[in-house]
Amino acid sequence: MQRKTAADFPQGLLNLFDGYVHGRMNRRQFLTGAQEFAVGGVTAAALLEMLRPNYAWANQVAADDPRIAVSEGVVPSPRGNGSIKGTLVRPAAAGTRPVVLVVHENRGLNPYIVDVARRLAVAGYIAFAPDGLTSVGGYPGDDEKGLALFGQIDRAKMAEDFLAAARWLRARPDSSGKLGAIGFCFGGGVVNQLAVQMGDELAAGVPFYGAQPTPAEAARIKAPINAQYGALDTRITDGWAAFDAALTAAGVPHEGHIYPAANHGFHNDTTPRYDDAAAKEAWQHTLRWFGRYLAG
């Protein structure tokens, strides 16, 4: 399939798709709404296929890249769902390194998120990408099925799974003890909540378009936060002003970057919502932040 961009679709359709992927409507409701945009012989079903991720594109760093070593890990999570599995990626060269937890969207550990972990390993970090769907069999290889499974899991227990994964990663013998976290969509919200829960155990957080904590929760944050948002993603981005104020009041080092004309999911290079300029700039902010607070 030829790669398309957000500019190839009406913003109303992209907003409708955002509602669908976040569970605010089902497939039938999306297709009904998409009929308005089905012109020129293109059906609503065809529009959905165009908007869905193509994970063949999620391969900036190959799994067999000689610069990295990839393995699978299982983390005990007695307060959560018992355990959580994930992909561990580290630089091929031996040595102690800063560590980064990579938290997926609301569909489980898909190939795009695993590739983000590989990108971090190339940059010199030990990255662990856990799969929040572990307790229901793991990411099923299909986003719609993943979203359905996601809705079956107790959110409080899943939160404990991610917290267990973060502490396991930080305590590894090859960890420098400096823990960062990066997450996307649902995962961005997880990063913010880990910052609330972990205090100074978390050395830096980079949430991409993640739901913000309340001002009272934000007052507990110690980790420097570098937040990334799309200007068109008003559902999430409108919460930045209050979060910014709360972090300022708490004396937390932080930055917020809002990219003009970028949609929710702009960093995910497997969908048309990907914004190349915004994604590259946000990644540079990410590496700079981790370099300052993890590697520096």
CATH of the domain at 133: 3.40.50.1820
Write down the pLDDT at residue 22: 85
The residue range of the domain holding 22 is 6-52
The answer on 216 and 84 residing in a single domain is yes
The answer on 283 and 154 residing in a single domain is yes
List of E strands, the chain:
68-77, 82-91, 97-103, 126-130, 175-184, 204-208, 225-230, 254-259
C-alpha dist (Å) from residue 63 to 6, 120, 130, 229 = 28, 13, 17, 29
The answer on 44 and 119 residing in a single domain is no
Classify residue 234: in a domain, yes or no: yes
Dihedral sign (CA 146, 151, 152, 157): positive
Sequence-distant (≥ 6) Cβ neighbours of residue 281 within 8 angstroms: 257, 259
Classify residue 37: in a domain, yes or no: yes
The answer on 84 and 47 residing in a single domain is no
Q: What is the pLDDT of residues 129-151, one digit of tens each?
A: 999 999 999 999 999 999 999 99
- How many domains does the chain contain in total? 2
Give exposure, 112-143, as e/b (b: 16+ Cβ within 10 Å).
Answer: bbbbbbbbbbbbbbbbbbbbbbbbbebbbeeb
- The predicted model scores a pTM of 0.94
Structure tokens of 43?
A: 């059906």
- Tens of pLDDT, residue by residue, the chain (296 residues): 567 888 889 999 999 998 998 888 999 999 999 999 988 778 999 999 899 888 887 789 999 999 999 999 999 999 999 999 999 999 999 999 999 999 999 999 999 999 999 999 999 999 999 999 999 999 999 999 999 999 999 999 999 999 999 999 999 999 999 999 999 999 999 999 999 999 999 999 999 999 999 999 999 999 999 999 999 999 999 999 999 999 999 999 999 999 999 999 999 999 999 999 999 999 999 999 999 999 97
Question: Would you say 102 and 133 are in contact if contact means Cβ atoms under 8 Å apart?
Answer: no
The answer on 140 and 162 residing in a single domain is yes
The answer on 213 and 113 residing in a single domain is yes
The answer on 77 and 37 residing in a single domain is no
Spatial separation of the C-alpha atoms in residues 290 and 279, rounded to whole Å? 16
The answer on 85 and 156 residing in a single domain is yes
The answer on 31 and 72 residing in a single domain is no
Classify residue 1: in a domain, yes or no: no
Work out the number of other CB atoms within 10 angstroms of the CB of residue 101.
Answer: 29
Element (H, E) at 156: helix 155-171
Structure tokens of 262?
A: 């970028």
Classify residue 104: in a domain, yes or no: yes
Structure tokens of 59?
A: 């391969």
List of E strands, 41-142:
68-77, 82-91, 97-103, 126-130
The answer on 74 and 215 residing in a single domain is yes
Q: What is the pLDDT of residues 204-230, one digit of tens each?
A: 999 999 999 999 999 999 999 999 999
Write down the pLDDT at residue 4: 81
Classify residue 59: in a domain, yes or no: no
Classify residue 256: in a domain, yes or no: yes
Spatial separation of the C-alpha atoms in residues 155 and 162, rounded to whole Å? 11
Q: Tokens 């955002």 identify what position?
A: 18
